Amino acid sequence: MNTSHPDVPLELALAYIDRAAAVASDLGVDLDKELAAAAHEPLDEATAERLYTRLLVLATQAIGDVDVDVERVRAEVRAILESVPRPPADSVGTGHEDLPQGRVQLQAYNGLSVRDVKPTPVFNGKTVEMREGYVDVSLLDPWEGNARAQLYVDEFESKFGRAPGPDELLKILTGDISLGDGERDPFRLRPLASSIARKGVEKPPIITADGVPYDGNRRIAASRLVLMSDHYSDEEKDRARWIKVWQTGEVTEDQLEAVVVALNFEVDLKEPWPEYVKARMVVERFQTLREQSPKAVLSAAALNKMKDEVAKHYAIGRAEVTRYVEMVKWADDFMDYQIEAGKDRAEVTYRTDSIFQWFYEIQAGKAGSKVTDQFEADPEIRSLLYDLMYDATFDSGAQVRAMHLVAADPEAYRQLIDAHQMRENRRDEAQELVKDAINDARQRARAKKGVTLEEFSKQMSKRLGETPAGSWEVLGTEVLVEVRRALLGALGAINGELSRRGDVHLPVQGD
């Protein structure tokens, strides 16, 4: 290739052409052929843009820079395109003359050649011809006209007096630019990013010839999030970078609107898996990893590592794995109890699955105060609770959650026993008694906290009153500042309560 040719100001790419060629070969790109053609005659603008963009991206990747600076690539390509006069696009055969040669060109990748989408898609009654192939997602920007992001775009314009640029729009979607209620992940991209890192983009986004995504903004933004994050491996980033898309040809506004409406208003009738199904799959995989470990006793760090591996496999968080493990543990215990009591296994299974969420509520509360903490010490509590759960004497998971209060209150606990005894013949009365037990236990718990505060206040007042002034010298500055902050806060609350009672002024010693 002659570097004096006006079509060759590719200094950045030429420096790494050997490495880029190796990467291109893996992607099925014949760079030698395309570069040879460019050496003899200037390329048309669309083909040149496709070639130079691809080459610069590959070259950047080849030198180890995984996160391509898209704006720099585009600036380089624009400079190349403007360097020489170029022939019209129709003078160079592309193999797809029926399609407009836009900014984003489809590529063959991963064994898939660029081809027509068959059968031709129909959206909201309108036929839209498309082709499918792969693109580097770093060359796609989210669509600023997307209705999902419109409120955030409007707020950005109000705040900064201009529309957000492509990179800023991406940061709005990822939460890196805080708008709205300041939520860290307003469009829930992070769970989607983990899923894409694990298995790629499964549903092709729909883009125009110029790369405007009329469907798939979240998938594109989540894929870009993977590329920007240090959390993912090179393999995961490569999986997120190259995504299959459907690209429209010449389309009308009505056709584009039909795409948007069909994909966002029409229900696909897909029924999500019940939580108990997902939980048991997660726990089964976790248990398999535990059984494969040569160590009989695993440390907390080793268990967390296994949970992280399971979480990554299912694109969820470690906390969700822990929650499922605990829920399945109590669900299995519930089933064992009912089957041992003579219940039909199939009926027990159906009932367990129908109230599966309750097995999260059953362990609610602070450590040491959960109702499950008392099962071993008092098996009767376990029997009462499991019977009432099975027989539908409870009407919600919230009531199950409140059982730790009832179990700790003798009088409320007696009411629960009474409800258990009458549940078969007088179900309605038993349900009302459960409600009474919960309400009474809550009221007594609140009253007990009030008494505790009163006793503490008396002791605190006595202790502070008896403390000599010189005693504070032994305390550090940070402790003194914290004590002052707490006392000033308490004083404000006390003055407010006294004011509510009629601005009562109680004299203190020395008045």
Cα torsion through 167, 173, 175, 176, rounded to 10: -10
Long-range contacts of 376-380 (CB under 8 A, 24+ apart): 378/407
- pLDDT tens profile 58-79: 666 555 554 556 567 777 777 7
DSSP string, 138-195: GG----TT-GGGHHHHHHHHHHHSSPPPHHHHHHHHHTSS--TT--SSTT-HHHHHHH
- pLDDT tens profile 302-331: 999 999 999 888 878 889 999 999 999 999
Most confident of 372-376, 426-430, 497-501: 426-430
The confidence score (pLDDT) of residue 57 equals 65
For residue 469 the two structure tokens come to 């002034």
Cα torsion through 124, 130, 132, 133, rounded to 10: -130
Q: Minimal CA–CA distance to 385: which of 325, 343, 348, 330?
A: 330
Rounded CA separation 419/428 (Å): 10
- pLDDT tens profile 175-206: 778 776 666 777 788 888 988 998 899 899 99
**Triad 436, 442, 445: Cα angle to 5°:** 140
Higher pLDDT, 218 or 154: 218
The letter for the amino acid at 108 is: A
Residue 1 pLDDT greater than 50, yes or no: no
The confidence score (pLDDT) of residue 37 equals 56
Rounded CA separation 378/400 (Å): 17
The confidence score (pLDDT) of residue 451 equals 60
Query: Contact at 8 Å (CB) between 44 and 91?
Result: yes
For residue 2 the two structure tokens come to 């002659």
**Triad 213, 219, 224: Cα angle to 5°:** 95
pTM over the 0.75 mark = no
Which residues, in sequence order, are bridge partners of residue 134? 107, 244
Rounded CA separation 451/455 (Å): 6
Residues in Cβ contact with 29 at an 8 Å cutoff, skipping those fewer than 6 apart: 54, 58, 107
For residue 435 the two structure tokens come to 């409600």
Query: Contact at 8 Å (CB) between 10 and 80?
Result: yes
3-state secondary structure of 196: helix
Rounded CA separation 360/375 (Å): 16
| Lowest-confidence region among 24-38, 87-101, 237-251, 403-417 | 87-101
User: How does DSSP classify residue 351?
Assistant: H
Taking residues 218-239, report their average pLDDT.
89
